[in-house]
């Protein structure tokens, strides 16, 4: 079907022109959407051309080709229909393989998969070291365990533990510190206030509001925690 092949080529050329040359909407339609429709139409023409060629070679061969492409189309439609479930399953698997690993979704946006127990662990680079922190909007500041703080070279004096904090083990005292930088993927906050707890007081680090309030926004959407940094 030379005519179909030629028309498919024209559609692909039109799609390229729409994306590369169009300065704005075309007849009220988004150029990207029109280009996508043109590419889809070209793909359909190419498939139909291939099926017609198989029918010319023999009726049985044509039927097998038609069945094959129908199966491909059905599989694609199924994947599209269940795309959110598949993405959620993939994120949950990633959360188990590498807990808290942020996925860069944009220049100033990261996505963190939910853990199997329902919470979120965020892998961050703090003052040059990788640490994992529990996402906690109930914590007014970033809170570090004594062990994590020591790994960063922070050793508060005994008299520095002057800030009362509420932990799972009850009320405790913490020492205020300032972290040079906290980076989660491409998002970086500098000079972040934090607290260091006494040894044995806390078992996990907390990513609290002294970091979260520096963001443009954050939200939990399904199985994902989405953090958005401020532009510039």
* DSSP at 101: P
Instruction: List alpha helices for the chain, DSSP H.
Output: 2-21, 31-57, 59-81, 83-97, 146-151, 209-212
- The CA-atom distances, in angstroms, between 30 and each of 9, 17, 33, 84 are 21, 13, 5, 25
Please give the pLDDT value at position 1.
Answer: 46
- In sequence order, what DSSP letters do the residues of 106-161 get, joined into one string? ETTEEEEEPPTTS--EEEEEETTEEEEEEE-TT-SSEEE-HHHHHHTT----GGG-
The 10s digit of each residue's pLDDT in 32-44 is 777 777 777 777 7
pLDDT of 40 reads 77
CA distance 186 to 52: 50
pLDDT at position 78 is 64
Q: Are strands 187-197 and 142-144 parallel, antiparallel or unpaired?
A: parallel
Q: How far apart are CA 209 and CA 135, in angstroms?
A: 9
pLDDT at 36: 74
| Regions of the chain short of the pLDDT cut 70 | 1-6, 8, 11, 15, 17-29, 31, 62, 66, 69, 73, 76-100, 104-106, 168-169, 232
- Say how many C-beta atoms besides its own lie within 10 A of residue 171's C-beta: 8
> Pick from 231, 206, 230: which is nearest to 218 by CA?
230
Of 135, 140, 98, the closest CA to residue 119 belongs to: 135
- Cα 201 from Cα 17, distance rounded (Å): 63
Give dist(CA 13, CA 44) in Å, integer: 15
Bridge-based pairing state of the strands 129-135 and 205-207: parallel
Domains of the chain from N-terminus onward? 2-81 (no CATH), 97-228 (2.40.70.10)
pTM of the model: 0.59
Q: Tens digit of pLDDT for each residue in 39-98?
A: 777 777 777 777 777 777 777 776 777 677 677 767 766 665 565 555 555 555 554 555
Give me the phi and psi of 219, to 5 degrees please: -155, 155
């Amino acid at each position: 079907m030379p005519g179909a092949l030629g028309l498919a080529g024209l559609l692909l050329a039109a799609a390229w022109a729409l994306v590369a040359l169009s300065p704005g909407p075309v007849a009220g339609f988004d150029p990207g959407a029109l280009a996508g429709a043109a590419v889809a139409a070209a793909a359909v023409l190419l498939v139909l051309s291939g099926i017609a060629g198989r029918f010319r070679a023999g009726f049985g061969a044509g039927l097998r080709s038609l069945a094959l492409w129908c199966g491909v189309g059905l599989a694609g439609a199924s994947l599209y229909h269940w795309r959110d479930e598949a993405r959620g399953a993939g994120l949950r698997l990633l959360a188990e393989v590498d807990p808290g690993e942020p996925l860069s979704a944009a220049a100033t946006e990261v996505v963190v998969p939910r853990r199997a127990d329902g919470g979120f662990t965020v892998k961050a680079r703090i003052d040059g070291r990788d640490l994992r922190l529990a996402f906690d909007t109930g914590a007014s500041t970033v809170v570090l365990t004594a062990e994590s703080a020591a790994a960063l070279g922070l050793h508060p004096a005994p008299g520095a533990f002057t800030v009362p904090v509420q932990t799972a083990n009850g009320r405790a005292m913490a020492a205020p510190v300032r972290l040079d930088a906290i980076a989660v993927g491409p998002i970086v906050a500098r000079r972040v206030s934090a607290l260091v707890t006494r040894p044995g007081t806390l078992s996990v680090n907390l990513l609290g509001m002294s970091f979260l309030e520096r963001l443009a926004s954050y939200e939990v959407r399904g199985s994902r925690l989405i953090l958005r940094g401020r532009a510039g």
